[in-house]
Amino acid sequence: MHSLAQEIQGFSKNHLKKQSTRVTTVTGRKLLETRSDEGHVEQVQELEEEPGCGFVEDKSLDLQVGAVRPFLLLASQDAAHDIDTLQRCKVSHVLNVAYGVSNLFPDQLVYKTLQILDLPDTEITSYLEECSSFIDQAREKDGVVLVHCNAGVSRSSSVVIGYLMLREGLTFDDAYSQVKQARPSIRPNPGFYEQLQHYKP
The residues spanned by each domain of the chain are: 11-46, 66-197
For 31-66, the pLDDT digits (tens) are 666 666 665 656 666 655 444 444 445 567 889 999
Catalytic: which of 53, 89, 131, 149?
A: 149
- Domain 66-197 grouped into CATH 3.90.190.10: yes
Regarding beta strands 145-148 and 72-75, do their DSSP bridges make them parallel or antiparallel, or are they unpaired?
parallel
Question: Torsion over CA of 95, 96, 102 and 107, rounded to 10 degrees?
Answer: 0
For 5-40, the pLDDT digits (tens) are 666 555 555 555 556 666 666 666 666 666 666 656
149 is annotated as an active-site residue? yes
Q: Report the chain's C-alpha Rg in angstroms.
A: 25
Q: Is the pLDDT of residue 97 over 60?
A: yes
